[in-house]
């Protein structure tokens, strides 16, 4: 069984925890896009682990974790993650596989990310991890790939060519001094040496595992509405976060994917700029942010919070082929008198029932809410669906009916144990 896990909103849906749970019965966990802009937090046995690049499945003994060709890798960040795991006595030797085709994030990508954001009037609010500039180089055919770090001559030629053009741009457009070849060349050759035992043809590794009927989990980063094509462009990330990205980002054919599980929060959050029709007002937003600890795992930025949006979820189900949902952070809604769910938008006098493609509509649309009664009980110790307060069950059932999709997992707290299976 090969399953893709995707975020159904703007990222931070709690995929890390769901992947951690599903990884228990998987053989391989594979990342297919994004880079160290992602941040999964997993709490296990009182330890908190934050992953940016390595699939969180690495916490389970014997699981093979792959970083696919669709991921952009900051080698320094990756080495740091490996070292942190080593300190917690979690070894990755022979279990971590890095695609030789994955593109490398260079210091000039990070600096360019910063400088472009600073210059923009309409900021995207990127994580400043160099993601956009690195994917741009990939498409521009001047990117440096992991395999290049293992070949001094190739690295030298590519880096020289890149700096020739980029240093001019840095100086002339951004009044930034640029980068010195020798220092970068030396550092990146060294990264290559340190990571060489992990770098391989992951497409071959994963496809062989598929042939051997191993169970594979494809771990999406970010979320559907941050997808470069289908997200709220230009307020998106630079990769294909939807389930289709799992094929391009790993070299596994679409016919080999059996199932897509979507992860959605019981409300909605977004970090960075961009339209957000169901966003709460400042005071209520602060309350939910604090209750839900809604601060970015990568940048620590406060997340914007809002009600759940069924137009978004329907669109996510369609785009990803989601057949099952995991609903996270239901406990954060404990104690609310009423809960709103956006079921349509009103825009220029018309009622929209589909998520609009027109960005102006998204900025200006007013959500039409269905209001449901909240529950007063604390649900974070609930193990069984039947023990949830009736109004919490009503909320879940309403979502299932409206979305025509089963909610198979409900998360009521950050640790593995705080999960209801149905």
Report, as residue numbers or ranges, the catalytic residues: 12, 40
CB of 129 to ligand IMP, least distance (A): 5
Task: Using CB under 6 A, pick the residue from 131, 144, 325, 332 that binds ligand IMP.
Answer: 131
CA distance 106 to 130: 8
**Encoding tokens for residue 331?**
């406990």
**Residue 350 to residues 302, 361, 363, Cα–Cα distance (Å):** 33, 11, 15
Which range binds ligand IMP by CB under 6 A, 24-32, 101-109, 120-128, 382-390? Answer: 120-128
CB 269 within 8 A of CB 7: no
Candidate residues 271, 305, 311, 379; the one interacting with ligand IMP per rule CB under 6 A: 271
- Token pair, residue 392, equals 């919490």
User: In this structure, what token pair is assigned to residue 337?
Assistant: 């008198």
CB of 228 to ligand IMP, least distance (A): 10
Q: Is 132 in the site for ligand IMP (CB under 6 A)?
A: yes
The Cα 217–Cα 26 span in angstroms is 7
The minimum distance between CB 38 and ligand IMP, in angstroms, equals 4
The minimum distance between CB 14 and ligand IMP, in angstroms, equals 11
Stretch that binds ligand IMP, among 128-136, 206-214, 361-369, 412-420 (CB under 6 A): 128-136
- Looking at the DSSP bridge assignments, the partners of residue 129 are none
Query: Given the complex with ligand IMP, which of 62 and 300 has the nearer CB atom?
Result: 300
Q: Which residues of 119-134 are buried (b: 16+ CB within 10 A; e: fewer)?
A: eeeeebbbbbbbbbbb
Place of tokens 């060489």: 196
Per CB under 6 A, does 129 bind ligand IMP?
yes
For residue 110, the minimal CB distance to ligand IMP (Å) is: 10
C-alpha to C-alpha distance for 59 and 175, rounded to whole angstroms: 45
DSSP 101-170: TSEEPPHHHHHHHHHHHHH-SS-----SSSHHHHHHHHHTT---BGGGGG-HHHHHHHHHHHHHHHHHHH
> Which listed range, 34-42, 327-335, 370-378, 388-396, lies at the site for ligand IMP (CB under 6 A)?
34-42
* Residue listed under structure tokens 């620590």: 300
Strands 304-306 and 268-270: antiparallel
In the complex with ligand IMP, which residue's Cβ is closer, 225 or 307? Answer: 225
Q: How far is the CB of 420 from ligand IMP (least distance, A)?
A: 24
CA–CA gap between residue 67 and residue 82 (Å, rounded): 13
The 300-339 site mask, x for binding ligand IMP (CB under 6 A), equals ----------------------------------------
CB of 9 to ligand IMP, least distance (A): 9
User: Min. distance of Cβ 155 from ligand IMP in angstroms?
Assistant: 25
Q: Given the complex with ligand IMP, which of 5 and 124 has the nearer CB atom?
A: 124
Closer of 174 and 233 to ligand IMP (Cβ): 233
Is the omega angle on the peptide bond into residue 234 within 30 degrees of 0, that is, cis? yes
Question: Residue 211, CB half-sphere, CA atoms under 13 Å: how many?
Answer: 6
If the CB atoms of residues 78 and 336 are measured against ligand IMP, the closer one turns out to be 78
Helices (H), 237-367: 245-248, 282-291, 310-320, 359-364
From the list 205, 248, 263, the residue with the least C-alpha distance to 66 is 205
Task: Tell me: does residue 106 bind ligand IMP (CB under 6 A).
Answer: no
Q: What angle do CA 71, 220, 116 make, to 5 degrees?
A: 55
Task: Return the number of the residue (103 or 129) whose C-beta is nearest ligand IMP.
Answer: 129
If the CB atoms of residues 35 and 367 are measured against ligand IMP, the closer one turns out to be 35
- Binds ligand IMP (CB under 6 A): choice among 72, 127, 382, 411: 127
Whichever of 68 and 192 has its CB closer to ligand IMP, that residue is 68
8-state DSSP, 347: E
Q: How many CB atoms lie within 10 A of CB 59?
A: 23
292 binds ligand IMP (CB under 6 A): no
Q: Does 246 bind ligand IMP (CB under 6 A)?
A: no
Q: Report which residue's Cβ sits closest to ligand IMP.
A: 272
- Interface with ligand IMP (CB under 6 A), residue total 20
Site pattern 216..235 for ligand IMP (x: CB under 6 A): -----xx---x--------x
Within 37-56, the residues that bind ligand IMP by CB under 6 A are: 37-39
From 124, 365, 407, 420, residue interacting with ligand IMP (rule: CB under 6 A):
124
Q: Give the residues lining the site for ligand IMP (CB under 6 A).
A: 11-12, 37-39, 124-127, 129, 131-132, 221-222, 226, 235, 237-238, 271-272
């Amino acid at each position: 069984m090969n399953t893709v896990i995707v975020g159904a909103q703007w990222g931070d849906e709690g995929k890390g925890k769901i992947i951690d749970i599903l990884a228990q019965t998987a053989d391989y966990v594979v990342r297919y896009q994004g880079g160290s802009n992602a941040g999964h937090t997993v709490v296990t046995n009182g330890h908190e682990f934050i992953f940016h690049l390595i699939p969180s499945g690495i916490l389970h003994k014997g699981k093979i974790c792959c970083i696919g060709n669709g991921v952009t890798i900051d080698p320094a960040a990756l080495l740091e993650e490996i070292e942190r795991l080593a300190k917690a006595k979690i070894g990755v030797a022979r279990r971590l596989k890095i695609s030789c085709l994955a593109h490398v994030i260079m210091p000039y990508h990070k600096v360019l990310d910063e400088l472009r954001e600073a210059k923009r009037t309409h900021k995207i609010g990127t994580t400043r991890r160099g993601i956009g500039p690195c994917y741009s180089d990939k498409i521009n055919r001047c990117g440096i790939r992991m395999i290049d770090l293992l070949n001094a001559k190739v690295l030298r030629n590519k880096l020289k060519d890149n700096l020739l053009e980029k240093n001019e741009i840095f100086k002339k457009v951004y009044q930034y001094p640029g980068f010195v070849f020798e220092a970068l060349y030396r550092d990146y050759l060294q990264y290559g040496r340190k990571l060489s035992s992990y770098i391989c043809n992951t497409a071959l590794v994963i496809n062989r595992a598929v042939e051997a009927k191993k169970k594979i989990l494809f771990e999406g980063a970010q979320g559907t509405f941050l997808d470069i094509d289908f997200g709220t462009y230009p307020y998106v990330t630079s990769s294909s976060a939807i389930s289709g990205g799992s094929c391009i980002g790993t070299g596994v054919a679409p016919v080999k994917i059996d199932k897509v599980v979507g992860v959605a929060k019981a409300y909605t959050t977004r970090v960075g700029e961009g339209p957000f029709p169901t966003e709460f007002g400042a005071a209520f937003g602060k309350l939910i942010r604090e209750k839900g600890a809604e601060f970015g795992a990568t940048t620590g930025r406060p997340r914007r919070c809002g009600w759940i949006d069924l137009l978004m979820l329907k669109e996510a189900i369609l785009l990803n082929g989601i057949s099952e949902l995991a609903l996270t952070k239901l406990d954060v809604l404990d104690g609310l008198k009423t809960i709103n769910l956006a079921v349509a938008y009103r825009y220029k006098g018309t009622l929209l029932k589909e998520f609009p493609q027109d960005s102006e509509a998204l900025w200006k649309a007013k959500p039409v809410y269905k209001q449901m009664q909240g529950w007063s009980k604390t649900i974070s110790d609930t193990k069984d669906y039947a023990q949830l307060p009736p109004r919490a069950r009503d909320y879940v059932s309403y979502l299932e009916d409206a979305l025509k999709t089963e909610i198979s997992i409900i998360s009521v707290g950050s640790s593995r144990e705080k999960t209801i299976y149905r």
